[in-house]
Structure 1
């Protein structure tokens, strides 16, 4: 359906109105027969044509093709394959001439729904990937059994799941086992990042930038004859970005959520990267937290991150990135 029409200048106001139209509103108006509510959910939809195209939380993602977006304009271009001008004309027709986005307060009140990618029938590629990064084999199997690590069926990504205090999945980080792909699953709640909690109440927590670093540290503890289940291990939902002025920075929401739920914690160990960003994050967190907690700066003694240190400790050469398939997203 792509158009070969010549360049057309679109009025900025018209274009902005088109960009504001969400996909759910569009489908209800123009393709109601193509809109299907996903069973067992309150506000997750898919399309009859593409059951792997999920719509939730004001966003959509087509899992089988690895494309997504926020608006109906994105959908018409990426899924329907209309030209840009044609897509804008469709969205600014009479049916949507007076369309207005819902009030911001309504969107804010809608509960997030985590859209996990479909699970593969086994986790062979993820196990191979993590084991190649030096992660303890039994630790990997324990996490798989607990349901906090699995392999996606579409692109065989490693999926690291974060659960809330009741054990309900609320967050998922998808990481490529080939290449450098990284994406949080739609609807992820960054308050509940990937973590391994102590079996018994513990007065400390160890903080890491990524799930791989967390698992690397747990492996290191096992190698040293220590019990990793005696410690609270918490990863952040991506790299923490402090403000230029430390006083204007906020504590990562994953950490504040954990600390609120565990008032027994008095000591925080920071195992952040040794690069410029990691050191800045460490400095910022030390200043923000030192009034209420004992802060221990414990970066990896070797390499950029904890996984680099683990590989050096085990005498394993860091795996070279596998060539990424073009269709892997």
Structure 2
């Protein structure tokens, strides 16, 4: 018995358009900033090691050692869940609907004020991700939520609803000036700054001492605070600043408003598998830590470098959590041997 097959969601013309779309143009249209790479690529600004090929057909990320085409890019960096949703993002139209655009293109004007994404009805996804998946202490997560620096965001794009963790940086008047989004799932690599974000206003955890710790990401800052708490150290004592990239711009601004700070500890990632654009070994985080440490010594600060044992301080935290969970069983085993 012959059955009718399910109709293809896209026409041949649409499929051709998907793979003919220039990945560089597509990235720019979706808010990514491009800067010069090498003879064969352009670099996605503030992405670490994400490069797009000049021929417009694909990308390669040195930090994760992954590569792919424009469909893979839409899934990895724009939150598309499958091929169909990725193709719809690229085409700007729904499946089965021809080529009619969902949203009319709008020319970008001058950079305006940051508008934070709407808050989700519940922050459960964000809290579960940060506490269970990432192992961050609940007290710390709830403290950041109470300060408005962490929340669950709900965004609508091309007919799809996305739930993300939002990390917010404020200026001296309490006005939000920076917001970074990331998917609340270890299976998704989606992360993006909200339009009109100013990275000089980083995610900050204000302390009381004369020391500040600097990180690449908010999750690492909260992970470091958690590790301190687990070792009996008051996590609220020292300041913490997260850049949202491999930079020290947010730190520099923070120091202008905290003259009591005399010591800076650089806690950048330990990119032992990192490579530069030519494929040579390059520990991006630790090289930058050395450069920044020297720079701020010249500015009169006492500087130190604290290198995570693993890739970053969240990896250190999750490994420590695993060890602590296994400790009772190991102790019971040792006690049995002694008996």
Instruction: Give the 3 Å change call, closer, same or farther, for CA 311–77 of structure 1 in structure 2.
Output: closer
Structure 1 unpaired stretches of 5+: 8-21, 23-64, 68-74, 92-100, 241-251, 318-329
- For 2:286 and 2:111, how far apart are their aligned partners in 1? 35
What is residue 159 of structure 1 aligned with on the other side? 166
Please list, as runs of the form range in 1=range in 2, the aligned pairs for 1:299-318 lying within 5 A after superposition: 299-300=307-308, 302-315=309-322
- For 2:90 and 2:310, how far apart are their aligned partners in 1? 46
Partner of 1:157: helix, strand, or coil? strand
Moved over 4 A (4+): 2-5, 79-83
1:207 and 1:269 in contact (8 A); partners too: yes
What is residue 78 of structure 1 aligned with on the other side? 92
What is residue 51 of structure 2 aligned with on the other side? none
* Aligned pair partner of 1:255 in 251, 254, 266: 251
Please list, as runs of the form range in 1=range in 2, the aligned pairs for 1:1-329 lying within 5 A after superposition: 78=92, 112-132=112-132, 133-153=134-154, 154-178=161-185, 179=187, 180-198=189-207, 200=208, 202-240=209-247, 252-275=248-271, 276-292=283-299, 293-300=301-308, 302-315=309-322
Structure 1 residue 220: Cα displacement: 1.2
- For 1:166 and 1:316, how far apart are their aligned partners in 2? 43
Alignment root-mean-square deviation, CA: 3.7
Partner of 1:278: helix, strand, or coil? helix
Q: TM-score, normalised by structure 2?
A: 0.58
- For 1:139 and 1:272, how far apart are their aligned partners in 2? 21
2:228 and 2:235 in contact (8 A); partners too: yes
1:3 and 1:82 in contact (8 A); partners too: no
Structure 2 unpaired stretches of 5+: 1-10, 17-28, 30-77, 81-88, 155-160, 272-282, 325-339
- For 1:223 and 1:270, how far apart are their aligned partners in 2? 21
- For 1:125 and 1:183, how far apart are their aligned partners in 2? 18
Question: Once the two structures are superposed, what CA deviation does each residue of 1:255-312 show, in whole Å capped at 9, x if it has no partner?
Answer: 1111112222211001111111111111211222221211111111x21111111122
Structure 1 residue 225: Cα displacement: 1.9
Partner of 1:213: helix, strand, or coil? helix
The size of the alignment, in residue pairs, is 227
Structure 1 residue 157: Cα displacement: 0.9
2:182 and 2:192 in contact (8 A); partners too: yes
Partner of 1:315: helix, strand, or coil? helix
Structure 1 residue 146: Cα displacement: 1.6
- For 1:291 and 1:238, how far apart are their aligned partners in 2? 23
Question: Once the two structures are superposed, what CA deviation does each residue of 1:15-67 show, in whole Å capped at 9, x if it has no partner?
Answer: xxxxxxx9xxxxxxxxxxxxxxxxxxxxxxxxxxxxxxxxxxxxxxxxxx979
